[in-house]
Chains A and B, each alone.
Chain A
Amino acid sequence: MATSKTTTAKATTAERTASRTAARTASDRAASARLDVPKTYKLFIGGAFPRSESGRVTEVTDAKGRFVANVAKASRKDAREAVRAARKAHPGWAGATAYNRGQVLYRVAEVLEGRKAQFVDELVRTEGLTAARAAKQVEAAIDLWVWHAGWTDKIAAIAGNANAVAGPYFNISVPEPTGVVAIIAPQTDGLLGLTSVVAPALVTGNSVVVVPGSAQLSAISLAEVLATSDLPGGVVNVLTGDAAELAPWLASHADVNALDLTGAGELDWITLEQSAADTLKRVLRPEPGIAPETPQRILALTETKTIWHTKSRL
């Protein structure tokens, strides 16, 4: 380049044009020679992005069967690590103020908004949606995060109560998070389906181990958003892979407190429910499509704590 600059000073117009053309072709060549930097979509466990312990991956292809990306395929040991991470993160998240949880969930929506294009692109490539429909889905997901962010400090007001008792006592009931929730996410609607099950669990302070459905790429990209949204590591853990393989281990795991089978309609969910009953888990049964956007869904993953306290007599 330095040489070409010095020669240009003395060069004729024709020479200058020729040299410019040469430079352009060189840069074109450089552009086409740049190697692809394909992304490996890894798991999300305890705030980190490890590969599967098993070393397995699944190929994700587009609607026409062309290769898009490799996605880590989680094993039962990854599920065990995810539950351990979720258990470790639970006290901190459940103990955060409702106001703080709301801020974090709202932040998720903000960061998602900034990375909308990436999510649209992934949905277009893997789910075969048109760009317009993909954008609509991503926007709906963002709105759903905002909707849930709003509920964090209001849910106790509709589910809690100051109970009337026959004695000089305060008697107060409040909803508390169930604990570690294992979720089989809806098989459809990608990012929106995933949000519809993960967000309601997070509102009251549960920590989550989620097996995403079809939207494996969106799930890991969402994990990247969660990791940069002040959500403490381990509160959400994403295990891409085969739900039929992972679900039995999560359903029987003694340290999982609730099992959300919303997207498990195609699995042998009755066996999963029976297995969950061994350790008295709260179970949500499969539903078609995405989970409905209701406060009941948030409350389905809570336990009611009732406190008696003496009234002082001054």
Chain B
Amino acid sequence: MTSPRPASASQALAPAERAVQLLGGDLSEVALRQHLEGLPTVDAVGLEARAASFGTRSIKTTSKAAALDTVIRMIDLTTLQGSDTRGKVRSLVAKALVPDASDPSTPRPAAVCVYGDMVGNAVEALGSAWSAGKDDGINVAAVATAFPSGRASIGVKLQDTRDAVAAGADEIDMVIDRGAFLEGNYGKVFDEIVQTKDACRRDDGTYAHLKVILETGELVTYDNVRRASWLSILAGGDFIKTSTGKVQPAATLPVTTLMLQVVRDWERLTGERIGVKPAGGISTSKDAIKYLVAVAETCGEAWLDPHLFRFGASSLLNDVLLQRQKLTTGRYSGPDYVTID
């Protein structure tokens, strides 16, 4: 699309509507840097204490049942292995369609999340349950832009995205160029997000939802997470996502809380709602419910919606199903009573 440009301080950036509105008409790397580095720093101790306090709420009986169902509705059921086969994707989709065969009232997850080349298989397996860009049904999310490392040329990244969208992906999970970000080359990261957003455009003029993966485990500091979140939103991301799940630490409660604070601030500033997706390392219902508390107490209960909050997870669903079975039957369930894949 465009040849890589040398990073120059006065370089004009690709126009992104939000950034132009916030930073003014002459969008430049300098303006962007000044804006991002002018963000207040994060009180790490306060943030961690706040996050730890989310684990102290008592959520029992009917509220627990409601929380578990909400968690299931927010899950992006994920398989992102080099060893993924078409059969594996089919069985993942089957699990999304019927999460618990012993209880038809179990809600379905929001989406299945696969590698770009598996999108066609996922769409085919979903059949009529596929949302196809509409609001009803299960979405297909695809990771793109040389996931998980993001180390490829921009042309490859954009083609990766276009292919997934053409195959039917409703949502694109892109990774940012962490190397460029850590070098302070915010303009390059910004441009890539803008261009990827452009590549999410379908033939009919609509866009696949763009989730921007920050890979917070590689950003090292909370300040960087705040800047990267803000940068991703400015560049046009619909969702900001913590991690690929391939790097430790992946999603943590403090980092997710921080990102929720950013989207809350963005809403106060512009009235626009951005989604948050923690991914990687959330495998128990107990943890997931702490995240729901974080969402409700940071952004408000309106945010407890699959359009605004998602869990990227593979084993979480089974644990939620076990807890759900415990609530409905009154006895503890076991791993023999849920499917493995």
Contacts and interface: CB of A to CB of B under 8 A. Distances in A.
Nearest to B333: A254
B331 interface: yes
A65 to B, nearest CB: 37
A253 B336 CA distance: 12
A253 B335 contact: no
A83 interface: yes
Interface string B168-185: 000000000000000000
B320 to A, nearest CB: 16
Interface string B329-341: 0111111110000
A255 B331 contact: no
A216 interface: no
A252 interface: yes
A170 interface: no
Interface string A243-286: 00000010011111000000000000000000100100000000
Contacts of B336: 254-255
Q: How large is the interface on B (under 10, 10 to 19, 20 to 34, 35 or more residues)?
A: under 10
A132 B335 CA distance: 48
Contacts of A275: 331
A83 B333 CA distance: 11
Contacts of B337: 254
A73 interface: no
B228 to A, nearest CB: 37
Interface in A189-242: none
Nearest to A251: B331
B154 to A, nearest CB: 46
A255 B334 CA distance: 4
Interface string A123-155: 000000000000000000000000000000000
A116 interface: no
A246 to B, nearest CB: 12
A83 B330 CA distance: 16
Contact of A80 (B325, B330, B332, B335): B332
A87 interface: yes
B335 A249 contact: no
A252 B332 contact: yes
A181 to B, nearest CB: 14
B332 A249 contact: yes
Interface string B300-337: 00000000000000000000000001000011111111
B335 A87 contact: yes
Most buried by A among B325, B330, B334, B336: B334
B257 to A, nearest CB: 26
Contacts of B325: 254
Contacts of B331: 249, 252-254, 275, 278
Contacts of A249: 331-332
B135 to A, nearest CB: 36
Nearest to A253: B332
Interface string A75-98: 000001001000100000000000
Contacts of A80: 332
B13 to A, nearest CB: 52
Contacts of A87: 334-335
A249 B326 CA distance: 11
A256 B330 CA distance: 15
B159 to A, nearest CB: 45
Nearest to A80: B332
Most buried by A among B331, B332, B336, B337: B332
A256 B332 CA distance: 10
B332 to A, nearest CB: 4
Contacts of A83: 332, 334
A83 B331 CA distance: 13
Contacts of B333: 254-255
Contacts of B334: 83, 87, 253-256
A45 to B, nearest CB: 15
B36 to A, nearest CB: 45
Nearest to A77: B332
A80 B332 CA distance: 7
A222 B86 CA distance: 52
A36 to B, nearest CB: 35
A61 B337 CA distance: 43
Interface in A164-201: none
Nearest to A76: B332
Nearest to A248: B331
Most buried by B among A83, A87, A254, A278: A254
Interface of A: 80, 83, 87, 249, 252-256, 275, 278
Interface of B: 325, 330-337
27 contacts: A80-B332, A83-B332, A83-B334, A87-B334, A87-B335, A249-B331, A249-B332, A252-B331, A252-B332, A253-B331, A253-B332, A253-B334, A254-B325, A254-B331, A254-B332, A254-B333, A254-B334, A254-B336, A254-B337, A255-B332, A255-B333, A255-B334, A255-B335, A255-B336, A256-B334, A275-B331, A278-B331
Given A83-B332, A253-B332, A255-B333, 19 more contacts: A80-B332, A83-B334, A87-B334, A249-B331, A249-B332, A252-B330, A252-B331, A252-B332, A253-B331, A253-B334, A254-B331, A254-B332, A254-B333, A254-B336, A254-B337, A255-B334, A255-B335, A255-B336, A275-B331
In the A-B complex, the 5 residue pairs with the smallest Cβ-Cβ separation, listed nearest first, are A255-B334, A252-B331, A254-B334, A253-B332, A254-B333
